[in-house]
Each structure stands twice: as C-alpha cells, then as structure tokens.
Amino acid sequence: MSETHTRYDAVWTDAVAAEAAALEVHQVERSYRRVLALTDDVLGKLEQRNLRGQRKLDEVVNRDLARTLTELPADARRRYPGAETVQQALDGIFLVQESLLLVLQRLVHWDRVLSSAAEDDQDADLIRRSA
C-alpha cells in the first residue's frame, strides 16, 4: 500500500510541477505579446510621421517611446539605440521587435500552430467543395 501511495505522490508532484511550469511559460508569452503590441503602437505612430516627411521626433512620440522602453525586458531595451530622428527611431524599434519575436518564436507551440493550419486548410477544402 505504501509503495502505491508513494508512486501516486510522485506522479502528483510531477503533475503540479508541470502545471506550474506551463503557467509560467504562458505568463512570459503574454508579457512578451503585450510589449510587442506596445512597440507596434509606437511603430505605427513613427510610420505616420515618416510618411508625412517629419524628420525630428516630437514630444508625443518621445514620450511614447520612453514609456514603451521602460516596459521592455532588459535585453530588448538594450537593443534600442538613442534616436533623434524618426528614421533612427523606426530602425531602433525594428531591432527591439526582432529581439521580442525571437523569444516569442521559441515559446510558440509549433505543433499546435501547424495542426491549426492543417485544420484551416481542411475547412477551406470543405467550403470549396460545398460551394
């Protein structure tokens, strides 16, 4: 009886540890997705100013950049060079996003992405056949 009980305890402990690890990975992924969305927002503002021909960074974008940089993980923040122009800021944000996307790419469960894509293809085939 005690051997069964001990084995059950070990399985339970492993299950709890696996659940905690999965939760931690999910939280990290969400935090990276959140800061990626922040950089997308700043990037959109920078692109608008670039299209209008604005060269220098204005106060609004500088404030948004500063706020976004404080939210970034340290490794991504270090990739951002000091910027005085819109183009320098654009290039810097792209460097930051590259760093964020690299981490997110490692966190993605490719088996789920690929199976989801396969299911979408099957659904599209069914829709075409029924049309």
Residue pair 53/128 in contact by the 8 Å Cβ criterion: no
- Over residues 56-79, mean pLDDT: 94
pLDDT tens for each residue of 15-26:
777 777 677 777
Paired with 56 in beta bridges are 85
What is the residue extent of each domain of the chain?
A: 2-130
Paired with 85 in beta bridges are 56
pLDDT tens for each residue of 73-87:
999 999 998 899 999
Residue pair 42/66 in contact by the 8 Å Cβ criterion: no
Q: Record the pTM.
A: 0.68
If DSSP codes are grouped into helix, strand and coil, which group holds residue 27? helix
At residue 1, does pLDDT exceed 60?
A: no
- What's the chain's length in residues? 131
Q: What is the mean pLDDT of the chain?
A: 83
| Integer Cα distance of 43 and 81 in angstroms | 15
